[in-house]
A and B are shown apart, each in its own frame.
Chain A
Amino acid sequence: MVRSPSLKVLHSFAIYALFGIVALYTLFPFYWMIASSLKSGQAIFDVTFFPDLKLNNYEVILSDGVFVGSLLNSLIVAVSVVSISLLLAIGAAYALGRVHFRGRSIVMMMVLAISMFPQIALLSGLFELINWLGLYNKLGSLIFAYMIFTLPFNIWVLTTFMRDLPKQIEEAAIMDGCSPLRIVRVIFLPMMGPALISTGLLAFIAAWNEFMFALTFILTDENRTVPVAIALISGSSRYEFPFGAIMAASTIVTVPLVLLALFFQRRIVSGLTAGAVKG
C-alpha cells in the first residue's frame, strides 16, 4: 500500500496506543493483585499504587497447612490427568487418524459430541458412580472426572495431527512386519512432540483450574484443590475479609500458569486452534 511517511508514522502510533490500552486493561488486575498481596495488615485498605513489599501475607498463607496441601493436591491431580489422558488419546488417535475402519466417523462424532456435554448434566450420575467406586472425597474422583473434558479434546487434536503425518514410513514398517504398538512407539511418538506438548499443556491448565467437580466430589479441607481452597477462604464477617491472604494465594497459583503461558505461548495457541480452525 502506498502511503505518505507522516501517515505511516501516525498509523503505527495509533496501533501502539491501542496495544497500550489492551495491555493495560489485561495486566492491571494482575498488577493490583500482586501489589495488594505485598501490603501488610491495614495497609491493604489504602489505595497506594506502589506497595511497601511486605511478605506477611505470604507467610500467613504458606504456613497454612491446608493451602500448601491444596497446591500439592492440584499438582497431583493435574499431572495424573495429563499423563492418563495423553496415554489413552495417543492410542485412540492412532486408530482414528491412521486406520480406515468401519465406524470410524461414528466414533469421531461421538467424541465431538461428548466434548460438548455440559458438565452439570453428568453430576448426579457421576456422583453415584464415584461413591460406588469408593472415590468420594479422594483425589482419584477428580482424576477420573476430569477425563470428561480432557480426553475428547486430546483425542480430537491428536487425531487431526496424526492424520496429516506422511504415509511412507508407516507403510515400510508394516511391510517389515512391525506390530501396530511398535509403529506407534517407534515411528509416531517421536514425531508427535509438539502436538503432545500443546494438548498436555491445555489439559494441565484445564485440570488445574477446574472448580465445580472439585467443589462437589471433595468434602474435607485436606483433600481440596487450589481453586476451591481460594474460593472458600473467608473471614468471620464481610468486614474482616482477608483480602491480603487471598491475593497472596491467588498470586502463588497464578505464577506457574503465567510462566507456562509465556514460555509455551505458541504451543498453547496452536493447541487451542487445532481443534477449531482445522477444516
Chain B
Amino acid sequence: MRAAFRPASLGTLRARSAWLFLAPSLIVLTAVALWPLARTFFFSFTDAELTQPDIYELVGFDNYRTLFEDPLWWKSFSNTLVFAAVSVSIETVLGLAIALLLNSHIKGRGAMRAIILIPWSIPVVVSARMWQWMLHDQFGIINHLLKGLGLIDTGIAWTADTNLVMPVIIAVDIWITTPFMVLLILAGLQMLPRSIYEAAAIDGVPAWRQFTSITLPLLGPSIAVAVLFRLLDALRMFDLSYVLSSNSDDTKTVSIYAREILVNFQDMGVGSAASTAIFLMIAIVTAIYVTLFRLNRRLLGA
C-alpha cells in the first residue's frame, strides 16, 4: 500500500536512468545503422544519382529488374558464395586442427598463440600487398621456389589467370583468418571439463574415440558460433579481392559489385538495390543458420 503513495519506486527510477544511459548509444546506432539502412532500402526504388540524391522519381521494382538481368551481378553472387563456403570450411578444419595442437600442454604454446594473432591483426590491405608481391609472376618468391624445385619452367601468373585467381584469393584468406578460428575454438576447448577426459582415459577409451565422442560434440556450439562470425565476414568480403585482383570479374564479390555501381557509375538506385539484396541474402543465411544450430539462446547469453 505504501508504495502507491510514492511518486516513483526505486525500480522505476532505475529503469528511467537506464534509458538515459542507453540513449546516446541508441541515438548513434539509429543514425549510423538503422537510418542508413532504411534510406538504402528507399533509394533502391528510386532513380536517384549519387551526386544529387534529393532529385529522384519512384521507379518501383525497375532497379531490381536491372540488377537481376545483369549477368555480372549473378557472377559476383556466385563468386561470393563459393568464396565464403570454401574458405570458411577450410578455415574451420584447419582452425580446429591448430587449436587442438595448441591445446596440448607443452612449452611454447603461449608464444604460438601470440604468433598466430599477427596475421589477423594487420590490415587486409597489407596482407594482400604482401601476397601480391610473393605471388608476382616474374619476381615473386613463390614462382622462384617452384622453379628451383623444377616444378615449373616459367612463372605462373597467379592473380591474372582466370582459373587460378579465386583459389589464390581463398588461400590468402585462409592465411589471414584461420587465426581467428583457432583462437575461438581454442577458447571453447579450454572450457571443456578435464574430468571427462580423465574418466575416459581410466576406462581405456582410445584418443581418437575421445575426440569423436567427447571433444567434437561438446565443442559443437563453440565451433558453430565461430563459423557464423566467419561466414558473416566472408559474405561481405571486399578489401582482399579489391586489392589483389581489382579488375577481375572472377573474384568480384557482391560488395565490390554494389560499390562499383554506386560510386563509379553513380547509380544510387541500382547500387542500393544491390545493397538491399545483399542485406536480405545475409539476413536469410543468418536466420537459417541460427535456427539450424539453435544458436539464439547461446548468442543472447541466456
Contacts and interface: CB of A to CB of B under 8 A. Distances in A.
Interface of A: 1, 12, 15-16, 18-19, 22-23, 25-27, 29-30, 32-33, 36, 44-45, 47, 88-89, 91-92, 94-96, 99-102, 104-105, 107-112, 114, 116-129, 131, 144-145, 147-148, 151-152, 155, 160, 163, 174, 180, 184, 205, 208-209, 211-212, 215-216, 226-228, 230-231, 243, 246-247, 250, 253-254, 257-258, 260-262, 265, 268-269, 272-273, 276-279
Nearest to B236: A118
Interface stretch (B1-9, B16-24, B66-74, B162-170): B16-24
Query: Chain B interface: which size bin?
Result: 35 or more
A243 B130 CA distance: 9
Interface string B60-78: 0000000000000000000
B79 to A, nearest CB: 14
A1 B201 contact: yes
Contacts of B177: none
A124 B53 CA distance: 9
Given A118-B282, A261-B114, A277-B187, A160 B301 contact: yes
Given A250-B130, A276-B226, A119 B118 contact: no
A276 B126 contact: no
A94 B21 contact: yes
B146 to A, nearest CB: 12
B203 to A, nearest CB: 12
Contacts, number: 292
A180 B220 CA distance: 40
Interface in B102-129: 104, 106, 108, 110, 112-119, 121-129
Contacts of B20: 180
Given A15-B101, A15-B106, A22-B116, A92 B21 contact: yes
19 contacts: A1-B201, A15-B106, A16-B106, A22-B112, A88-B25, A89-B25, A91-B24, A94-B21, A108-B300, A109-B300, A120-B275, A123-B275, A124-B268, A128-B43, A151-B25, A212-B259, A257-B121, A258-B121, A277-B222
Given A124-B40, A127-B262, A277-B184, 18 more contacts: A47-B144, A92-B24, A92-B25, A95-B17, A95-B19, A110-B29, A112-B299, A112-B300, A120-B259, A148-B32, A155-B25, A160-B301, A228-B125, A258-B121, A258-B122, A272-B180, A276-B184, A277-B191
Contact of B238 (A1, A94, A212, A278): A212
A268 B31 CA distance: 28
A45 B139 contact: yes
A203 to B, nearest CB: 13
Contacts of B14: 99, 101, 180
B262 A145 contact: no
